[in-house]
Amino acid sequence: MDFRLAIADRILENIPEAALPAAEIANMLEIPPDAKLGDYAFPCFKLSKALRKSPVAIADRLAAGVSAPFLARVESVKGYLNFFVDRATYAREVLSRALSEGDRYGSDGSGQGRCAVIDYSSINIAKRFHIGHLSTTMIGNSLYRLYKFFGWRAVGVNHLGDWGTQFGKMIAAYRRWGDRETVERGGVDEMVKLYVRFHREAEKDPALEDEGRAWFKRIEDGDPEALSIFNWFKDVTLKDAEKTYELLGVSFDSYAGESFYNDKMAPVVEELREKGLLKEDQGAKIVDLEPYGMPPALILRSDGATLYLTRDLAAAKYRRDTYDFDRSLYVVAYQQDLHFKQLFKVLELMGYEWAKACEHVSFGMVSFEGQTLSTREGRVVYLDELLRTAVEKARGIIEEKSPGLEDKGEIARQIGVGAVVFFALYNNRIKDIDFWWDRALNFDGETGPYVMYTHARACSVLRKAEDAQAEPDYGALSDPEAQEVVRLIEQFPQVLKSALDRSEPSMVTRFSADLAQAFNKFYYERRILDDDPGARAARLLLTRASRDVIKQALWLIGLSAPERM
């Protein structure tokens, strides 16, 4: 039973003059902040104008007329109609649905036949993967999983930062002081050393700057030697990054970065010119956005060089032409708000209706123990080092508390990585993250390891239970602790839908913590393996549903769910 729709039907039976679809009434229903106020509440204020009656009068009329076998009682309170569902019926219906739908519970399949392109992570070539990339990587990964879960065709794009004069400087440095074997062995760290040396030597010999620019010009012109070294640098970087992505459980469908669009920008510039959007301003080519409250969008510098915006216009068109997307998301920090407003407005001015399908999924910045990150000043935390430290800490705790646990290495990896990812995705994405080792790697409270442990606890209870079960007595789930778990399980589909619509994975993260806390309270207050066969059967069903929903929630934010800890 869909309780929202069932209640909506009863409301409409009593006020047919509202002339609204049941689904619209169902969407108006709210979950009271306190269970004592009911399981659902209908704010009658929303019908007051249409019915020309006070909210209190509407609520009183409905309270007198609405009834159903699944409703224990209905109350009118200050313009709200509060519904109290029969506890046993509520538990039976929610658990039956959750368990029968299995790993599809929470998905309505609404994305079938639709495509979402998600641009996330977007690491820089020849630079190490640091925690500044953690948010974009894990928010994007979670959205990718959510879209696929709802039936969308999701396309994950790692828009590599692989363009600019710095790559010419890298080649110049490599040809002067590097060798292939050393770079292959040292990876990105060795490339960074070469880049640092280039700048140090260029201070003494400014002619090196010209040499760097010349090599980048050769990349732009498609010179075989320059391209060979350039592409090798990318391969080495991605080989390094892949180790971190593998640890995080993150993958992509495309690595088309900035350089991929080098030959696709000229047609976009020409189109802007043909549509009368391109204007000259002190030698540069711009699109005037002043009428829309924005500074001009710079398309070409006075020397003819392209910019990020030029490449992003080409990328947006390519993605639309290639994937025919229904949504196109850019998971990029909020400092780029203006850039994406300009990008979407220029696409709109070019006459592309699909510009409305583009969304900037912004997020806050990461600082480290109260200080902003700065590579130059040595305030940087490399992601692979952070993850290794977290895994080592998890391994130490396992050795101390569960020395006989099988597959300790893999479970330590799941717990350690999970602690970091959960920390990154717990708060609303727009909030800045102040990264502290002791908080991120804390294994108590509202953390990834706590939720994982709850899943393992539920698995343990189910292993201890006998296979043969009696007919469940759902009346045994009428207590407040069990009902809170049932209520959260019932809300899971709505939480996921909201997380998808708002591009907000933190909603799933916080839900998993809430469900874990509610289940643990139930676990401590109620004897699951009760002597009474009916009560035992019902509580085991609640345990199984809790386990399954926690596992699904964790997977959707990129975490594993160990069965033993």
The catalytic site residues sit at: 127, 130, 133
The enclosing H or E element of 69 equals none
CA atoms within 13 A on the CB side of 376: 1
Beta bridge partners of 85: 71
b/e burial code for range 235-266 (CB count within 10 A of at least 16 → b): ebbbebbeebbebbbbebebbbbbbbbeeebe
Q: What is the spatial distance between Cα 125 and Cα 196, in angstroms, rounded to a whole number?
A: 15
Please name the residue that has the structure tokens 């500044």. Answer: 132
**72 with 57: CB under 8 angstroms?**
no
Q: What is the spatial distance between Cα 416 and Cα 394, in angstroms, rounded to a whole number?
A: 5
- Please provide residue 363's backbone torsions phi and psi, each rounded to the nearest 5 degrees: -150, 165
Tokens for 447, please give them: 């953390």
Which contacts qualify for 340-346: CB closer than 8 Å, 24 or more apart?
A: 341/294, 342/289, 342/294, 342/295, 342/297, 342/309, 343/297, 343/309, 343/312, 343/313, 343/316, 345/289, 345/292, 345/294, 345/297, 346/272, 346/277, 346/287, 346/289, 346/297, 346/309, 346/313
| DSSP letter string, 332-366 | --GGGHHHHHHHHHHHHHTT-GGGGGEEEE----E
Amino acid letter, residue 9: D
Gyration radius of the chain's alpha carbons: 28
Q: Dihedral sign, CA of 56, 57, 60, 63?
A: negative
b/e burial code for range 468-486 (CB count within 10 A of at least 16 → b): eeeebbbbbbbeebbbbbb
Beta bridge partners of 161: 124
Amino acid letter, residue 274: E
Q: 10 Å Cβ neighbour count for 275?
A: 12
Q: Regarding beta strands 358-361 and 327-331, do their DSSP bridges make them parallel or antiparallel, or are they unpaired?
A: parallel
Residues 6+ apart with CB under 8 A from 522: 481, 482, 484, 485, 542
**251 with 155: CB under 8 angstroms?**
no
Q: 10 Å Cβ neighbour count for 291?
A: 6
Helices (H), 158-307: 165-177, 180-186, 188-204, 207-220, 224-248, 265-274
Tokens for 559, please give them: 């975490």
Q: Dihedral sign, CA of 158, 441, 505, 365?
A: negative
